Amino acid sequence: MAGARALLRQFPLLLPQNRRGTAYEGFITAQGRDFHLRILLPEDLQMKNARVECSWRLKKVLGGYQHILKQRLHSCPDLLSFLVELKTVLEIALKNTPDLHIARPLEYYSCLVRDLEILGWNKVAYVDTGLTTVKLKAEDSCGRQHLITLKFSAKYPTEAPDCLVDFPVQFAISWMPQNSLVDIYSQFLAALESLRPFWDALDELDGQTWVLEPEHPSRSATARRIAIGNNVSVSVEVDPRHPNMLPECYFLGADHAVAPLRTKLNNNMHLWDPEISLLQNLKDVLEIDFPSRAVLEKSDFAQDCGICYAYRLEGCAPDQVCPEPRCGQPFHRACLQEWLQTLPTSRQSFNVIFGECPYCNK
């Protein structure tokens, strides 16, 4: 998770396309320019077997550097390291590619401005000075605000622009040379409405429960970690296409606290009713009432890590709890792992470390 957060911080326009983190699509920025690319990773996430798909502009810039990028692809340990290397090579390539500064054909500008006027300037949130990037704004039927970023090649409208949206699913447009921005906008609105039940469900969770993670969820985030009690929470992974179906649930906390919840979930799965809301279903199946936002504060559940004495560590909340009922002290996974690895009494079996609690020594 820390790697994914670091990746998002350094490359915010490159978004994951699936839950496994094996596909990323978006833009890499260098010297004020955005270049579209898609990266497909194998299941073991080894970079040497990854596939990088570039837009025609990016291919043109990196044409003479392919051998260097292949070397980097084989030597980099993870995706973030490769992207940092790619950006460095790209910045060098841009300095040595002066023909990229050549203005686009007049037909390109006249066509794009005409399409923007037909669409309506009131729908435009941003246009860059070179008329190569446009952000359009839209409101879904529930009043939520959304943006779509369009990156245009010099071949527009023969070639469709690249589209970047904050969606939990992939957004692909249908495009013909005779199409215009109006067609893209219509497809964008249709996609917003198809995802409305998903956002309705998660907005209800965000508004009526104490969500511990993510701290500031994006519209593409499909998971929520919800507080149930002191150092007890449930992480739910919602299917964007079927938001009212039973989600994947993972309980976090001491075993004596979460074992009854697992039992209730297994025993009451048959009670799940897709005709009622996700939140109400969770209450019925788990036989609980989630802590009220009107009565309790988030700090009532946000107990600091017993090792680093902080709640947030690189954006991550404590998710490991001592199983001793009289202790129940929470820890960050990274802090606990580092602590246990330094103890001579700890032992490791595969990827599990066994050792004493830093607080109660159990």
pLDDT score for 333: 85
pLDDT score for 332: 85
Number of domains in the chain: 4
pLDDT score for 302: 64
202 located within any domain: no
Domain at 233, CATH number: 3.10.110.20
> Is residue 237 domain-shared with residue 173, that is, in the same domain?
no
Point out the domain boundary residue: 100, 122, 141: 100
> Is residue 262 domain-shared with residue 335, that is, in the same domain?
no
> Is residue 273 domain-shared with residue 308, that is, in the same domain?
no
* Tens-binned pLDDT, residue by residue, of the chain (362 aa): 556 778 888 898 998 888 888 999 999 998 778 889 999 999 888 888 899 998 888 888 888 888 888 888 888 989 999 999 999 999 888 877 655 555 678 899 999 999 999 999 999 999 988 889 999 999 999 999 999 999 998 889 999 999 999 999 999 999 998 999 999 999 999 999 999 999 999 999 999 998 988 888 999 999 998 988 877 889 999 999 999 999 999 888 778 888 899 999 999 999 999 999 999 999 999 999 998 777 666 666 667 787 787 777 776 778 788 877 777 788 888 888 888 888 888 888 877 888 888 878 88
199 located within any domain: no
Domain at 13, CATH number: 3.10.110
Q: 83 near 7, Cβ under 8 Å?
A: yes
pLDDT score for 247: 94
Point out the domain boundary residue: 171, 194, 217: 194
> Is residue 217 domain-shared with residue 282, that is, in the same domain?
yes
What residues have CB less than 8 Å from 238, skipping those under 6 apart? 198, 201, 202, 222, 223, 224, 247, 278
Instruction: For 35-76, give the DSSP string.
Output: EEEEEE--TT--GGG-EEEE-HHHHHHTGGGHHHHHHHHHH-
> Is residue 225 domain-shared with residue 271, that is, in the same domain?
yes
203 located within any domain: no
pLDDT score for 1: 53
pTM of the full structure:
0.64
The residue written with tokens 């920025």 in the block is 29
pLDDT score for 301: 65
pLDDT score for 331: 83
> Is residue 1 domain-shared with residue 96, that is, in the same domain?
yes
Q: Could you tell me where the DSSP H helices lie in 170-215?
A: 181-194, 196-208
> Is residue 177 domain-shared with residue 231, that is, in the same domain?
no
> Is residue 265 domain-shared with residue 183, that is, in the same domain?
no
Domain at 147, CATH number: 3.10.110.10
> Structural domain of residue 131, as residue ranges?
106-194
